[in-house]
Amino acid sequence: MGKTYKIAVVGGDGTGPEVIAEGLKVLDAASRRFGFTLELTPFDFGGERYLKTGEVLPDSAVDELRKFDAIYLGAIGHPEVKPGVLEKGILLRLRFELDQYINLRPVKLFPGVDCPLKDKGPEHIDFMVIRENTEGLYAGAGGFLKKGTPDEIATQLSVNTRKGVERCIRYAFECTKKRNKDNKLTLCGKTNVLTYAFDLWERTFHEVAREYPGIKTDYAHVDAITMWFVKNPEWFDVIVTDNLFGDIITDLGAMIQGGLGIAAGGNINPEGVSMFEPMGGSAPKYKGQNIINPLAAICAGGMMLDHLGETAAAKLVEKAVMDVTGTKLKSLAAGKMGYSTTEVGDMVAQLVADMKE
């Protein structure tokens, strides 16, 4: 008998529910083939609920979500809600309160996908970014002084705890070892200017590195890494960095892997409940048209399977997506795929059901 996993499903706003529906189709095909069960529980958190009830996230929600094996999230963000309310009130709150201290973002160019970089193909772009997900400039430390006066002061502090930095770096070394590709971990920081925060990161990085003699270590400043992503993406295997730098460089990473239509991520608490999401936003202008690309959500579902321990199923989902990008889709852009959202989901699900492992 295969295992049963309890999954909280938050479709969210805009095109979120549409792409999650396709992801669930694929997960259903995987569960039949590999003999496990996904017990799905939907939650209606998002902009619509907030506009109706005035409540962003009920207080009971976080504790309720703790009972699940994983959370599958579509997108949060609504054009009629002031920016920041839902992002902070739902997405960031869940990351923080569920202590999902790793944001894992694979950057991999799949076959057939148009890459904006000249002369770069799938053999050049295959790395992982591990972004610290609960601290740094996202921690919310700081505030206003003399607000609204000509002497107003606004501070926003980057919080870096030894514990938070170390657990993230440790996860990155473990991930590099497990991946066993180039066995190379790059710390991305700004040691020439942020001489407190990244001093802590650098010291911790070198200390932990001693426990991993098989892993080569490297360092790149965050500004320089944006150049290397464009010029030499093949240099990278795994990158570890803080919250804001990770946020910024993974958008660039998404672009070189073909855009937000394919970029997926995991908010991981290795000891708790993790949450998997496509990286793109809610794309409200495409809502309800059946033209949005569901592959990022499908890939996020694949990451969720890998995290749950269904590694063979996860590999097959990736293989099926590669088949679809390599032999079917004209483009990854919404409305230009040559297929509708539901057709793309059907094709991937069919391959997951039938194709050779």
Which residues in this chain contact ligand IPM in the complex, by CB under 6 A? 87, 91-92, 247
Binding stretches for Mn ion (CB under 5 A): 247
Ramachandran class of 36: left when φ > 0, alpha when ψ lies in -120 to 50, beta otherwise? beta
Contacts of 348 (CB under 8 A, 6+ apart): 22, 25, 26, 295, 298, 317, 320, 321, 324
Q: How far is the CB of 103 from ligand IPM (least distance, A)?
A: 7
Provide the token pair at 23: 């992801």
Q: How far is the CB of 13 from ligand IPM (least distance, A)?
A: 11
315-352 in b/e burial notation, b at 16+ Cβ within 10 A? ebbbbbbbbbbeebbebbbbeebebebeebbbbbbebb
Binder of residue 252, out of ligand IPM, Mn ion, none (CB less than 5 to 8 A by kind):
none
Q: How far is the CB of 93 from ligand IPM (least distance, A)?
A: 11
**CB-closest chain residue to ligand IPM:** 87
DSSP 3-state helix, strand, coil percentages of the chain (rounded to 5)? 45, 20, 35
202-206-212-215 Cα dihedral, nearest 10 degrees: 60
Nearer CB in complex with Mn ion: 204/274: 274
Nearer CB in complex with ligand IPM: 91/194: 91
Binder of residue 248, out of Mn ion, ligand IPM, none (CB less than 5 to 8 A by kind):
none
Binder of residue 87, out of ligand IPM, Mn ion, none (CB less than 5 to 8 A by kind):
ligand IPM
Distance, CA of 165 to CA of 203 (rounded, Å): 10
Nearer CB in complex with ligand IPM: 122/284: 284
3-state secondary structure of 13: coil
Q: How far is the CB of 66 from ligand IPM (least distance, A)?
A: 21
Nearer CB in complex with Mn ion: 277/323: 277
Nearer CB in complex with ligand IPM: 74/112: 74
Q: How far is the CB of 281 from Mn ion (least distance, A)?
A: 9
Binder of residue 91, out of Mn ion, ligand IPM, none (CB less than 5 to 8 A by kind):
ligand IPM
